[in-house]
Structure 1
């Protein structure tokens, strides 16, 4: 009896996925879907923002309200230019480091591309730290979260580099996976940021402080007079404690300044939550794939013996010794 048409189509799709998975060098059935989801999210995010490399035209017009006020000049402009010019190419190039067929058949490309990614990400961290004081309001939460993410990425890269120099491939894999997921936190941040801004809008009782100069950059003088009369008081005659500033309601559905307030209040929280999710998520994945770690540990052991290393199988930053169990060949 002939198989149902739907089942035939289903089988054809499965065969196509298996063929694509094997062509790319993936050994497990779950590798390709995970690669498509996470690497695809990174590539899609990067490609959507390549237009921002035109700082004066595209970034100035399409960035969050108020961002261009700070980033249009001085070291902030240098920082945002450096950050975008390095993190976007790095995000596109890093995903190819996780394609097995490239690692196996194009090892030279894998090595050169890896060094390029490391350099770009480190420069990206420098640019990000240059602008963090004003990015999305530059709150203490934003600065601490951004600094933590930069430390995580930098330390992850250092760990991965040192372990591969010591031929400890299993640890190199783990630290490169961690680093990629740390970088991916910025993608998750955007989703959390939007949800958080909408939540603050729905609650309706959140406010942010904005300088009058920044407000004038975003909205007209007429709207300033209508919404923020304190900005009309001369600086030296102001009776309020924070002269030259106004309180802006966080409202994602209102004017530019209110959207900016909602995003500024949400950004630090969004980054922290994204970091937490990615930290936990990648550790779960690593602990669910012990077989791959064991396989690479064995390969590391053999390569380190060939290289004449004194502690084969336990070089690099491996915490535990390789041991003398019979399953390991000498």
Structure 2
């Protein structure tokens, strides 16, 4: 090898090594987390020190810190139930694979699919103003936040409204849908309840999250928060499977952000930034305990952009970048289509649609 070729090879090797290093090395911890750590309890500081040693030894690509939920039990934060009976899985599969979306909505959704293409290397639904603000759950009702978050995004998309124009009540979903309780539940059951029983959601202003199961009000909410269809992202209709990257991308582009599940751990709880890649997913036998919303992707990171319901003092202002193949992300991925409003309520005491 001549000297020119040798120098070229060395430069290429250095560039590749540098690229790998930056891909693996977490960025510096944001200042807000540095300040918060000063006030952290001694036990949490010790936990974070051990977690950082683990991250360094395994060359993981994310940071941990004293987040807004670091001192809360995971039992409270992670409220998705894990197991479904074979009979329930079969029932869902039969229902979603036989359902057909109203052609008028198929045409509408196709027309609204302006900037999202599954073949694009990067997409962020927030840029398209299709994501409502980050919320903060008050008990193990993440499943309700996941379902309602997906609904809100669809409502914004279908009705071409502002991302701050809707704040639906997760508490109403907890108290009325039969999808679960403060001890856990399933996001898809909220979607099924809205569509199959022709129900509507209340507003957060009228029925805020109390951190309890609550009781279902007798009066029907005076809103236009209704849905006309829901489905499982995986075409097989198996709600327990981890949908593929291609399937999730296509669903996000067609329907908007999708509800999904993930397996959360103490490292996840203390996530402060970077690309979360704690453990490889297990498609053959996936286990999850938390419901979230997938709102975008980045093929360079090889990661999903995930909206959580733990407030803005967790992660990257309430969001996480999580590897496509990490912690069983994408299990139970489901979409919902909001009903297009036909009348603007000038008087909130008037019901727009019967």
**TM category, shorter:** under 0.3
Greater relative contact order, per chain length (Cα 8 Å cut-off, separation 6+)? 2
Larger proportion of helix: 1
TM-score after normalising by structure 2: 0.21
TM-score after normalising by structure 1: 0.23
Larger proportion of strand: 2
